[in-house]
């Protein structure tokens, strides 16, 4: 099985080309049991990801836990950044020094978050910024217009290259597209989670927008701890398909998302070097029509 992230092909985020198999940095701060990660190990994971062809990394300034910050780890591991690397970050949720979350909605607050990401990542411009709305995994129904307009102004100023939105529904996508071009939507989605977004993936495709699922492997249940271990729903079928391909269940879940459409990008998160190799190799896993039908029975 191939181990290069380019095996699933590429997608355009505006004028930037990324391999469809990317990496999510949320797991760099902590292990699945919530204890701090091994700093050297996760720096090694980030460097290995890039060696394996990953050129799309998702992060956020609010990804910090105890002594670890995902942005600092990315900065330390990967600067000077490879030219083809697209680091996507997100703003909206803020965290105070105790780690508690709150929503940042004001123009000044959003500017502060963009500047914080620039400083932490050591960049003059952020390649992609997602406006994340809603509390936790509950998608908000409130208008995102004012907040998205604030980010569009920062884009005009040259602090942001491309804009995306996260934790949203179809109406939010339409609302945002009326303000400024949207290159990606980042939502919770997987084989057994949030399948109502099947239609949103198609809507994104119609508009050339990437759909970037999070928790494609882990925490399938809305409201579950973000540190919950891999999803167990439909384990038997997933395991059987995995065995037939000499693959793992996590690889099947990732490959399944990549089979949803050419505009679907994967950003699996891991702090484990072996899991990283496995996840990148999933870019080369081709599921048959029969596999996809069987997997659909549990979706």
Residues 168, 181: Cα–Cα separation, whole Å: 16
CA-based nearest residue to 215, from 240, 242, 187, 196: 187
Q: Are 209 and 183 a contacting pair, CB within 8 Å?
A: yes
Q: Which is nearer to ligand NAP, 116 or 272 (CB)?
A: 272
- Distances 127 to 56, 90, 165 between C-alpha atoms, Å: 10, 11, 14
Per CB under 6 A, residues contacting ligand NAP are 24-27, 32, 58, 90, 132, 166-167, 186, 214-218, 226, 229-230, 248, 250, 267-272, 275, 278-279
The greatest distance separating any two alpha carbons of the chain, rounded to the nearest whole angstrom, comes to 53
Tokens of 239: 């395991």
81 is catalytic: no
Closest residue to ligand NAP using C-beta atoms: 269
Strand (E) positions, 122-271? 126-132, 160-166, 184-188, 210-214
Q: Which is nearer to ligand NAP, 69 or 270 (CB)?
A: 270
Q: If you search the block for the tokens 């038997």, which residue do you land on?
A: 236
Kindly state the DSSP code that residue 17 receives in the 8-state scheme.
E
Which of helix, strand or coil describes residue 22? coil
Q: Which is nearer to ligand NAP, 102 or 290 (CB)?
A: 102
Tokens of 274: 């072996």
Q: Which is nearer to ligand NAP, 32 or 235 (CB)?
A: 32
Task: List the catalytic residue out of 23, 63, 81, 189.
Answer: 63
CA-based nearest residue to 186, from 129, 239, 127, 106: 129
Q: Which is nearer to ligand NAP, 6 or 88 (CB)?
A: 88
Q: How far is the CB of 196 from ligand NAP (least distance, A)?
A: 17
Q: Which residues have CB under 8 Å from 206's CB, separation 6+? A: none
Q: How far is the CB of 96 from ligand NAP (least distance, A)?
A: 18
Residues 292, 216: Cα–Cα separation, whole Å: 16
Alpha-carbon radius of gyration of the chain: 18
Q: Which is nearer to ligand NAP, 225 or 293 (CB)?
A: 225
Q: Looking at the annotation, which residues are catalytic?
A: 63
């Amino acid at each position: 099985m191939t181990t290069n992230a380019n095996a699933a092909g590429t997608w355009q985020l505006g004028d930037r080309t990324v391999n469809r198999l990317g990496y999510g940095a949320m797991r760099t701060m902590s292990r699945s049991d919530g204890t701090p990660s091994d700093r050297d190990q996760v720096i090694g994971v980030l460097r290995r990801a890039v060696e394996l062809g990953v050129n799309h990394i998702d992060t956020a300034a609010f990804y910090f836990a105890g002594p670890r910050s995902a942005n600092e780890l990315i900065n330390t591991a990967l600067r000077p950044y490879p030219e083809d690397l697209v680091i996507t970050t997100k703003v909206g949720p803020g965290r105070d020094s105790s780690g508690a979350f709150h929503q940042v909605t004001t123009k000044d607050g959003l500017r502060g978050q963009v500047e914080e990401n620039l400083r932490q990542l050591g960049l003059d411009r952020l390649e992609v910024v997602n406006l994340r709305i809603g509390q936790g995994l509950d998608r908000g129904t409130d208008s995102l217009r004012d907040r998205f307009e604030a980010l569009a102004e920062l884009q005009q100023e040259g602090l942001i290259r491309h804009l995306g939105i996260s934790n949203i529904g179809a109406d939010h996508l339409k609302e945002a597209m009326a303000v400024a071009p949207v290159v990606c939507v980042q939502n919770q989605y997987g084989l057994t989670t949030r399948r109502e977004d099947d239609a949103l993936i198609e809507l994104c495709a119609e508009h050339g927008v990437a759909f970037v699922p999070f928790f494609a492997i882990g925490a399938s249940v809305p409201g579950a701890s973000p540190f919950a271990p891999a999803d167990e729903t439909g384990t038997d079928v997933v395991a059987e398909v995995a065995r037939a391909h000499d693959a793992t269940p996590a690889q099947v879940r990732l490959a399944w998302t990549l089979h949803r459409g050419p505009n679907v990008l994967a950003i699996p998160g891991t702090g484990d070097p072996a899991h990283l190799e496995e996840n990148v190799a999933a870019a080369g896993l081709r599921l048959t029509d029969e596999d996809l039908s069987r997997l659909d029975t549990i979706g």
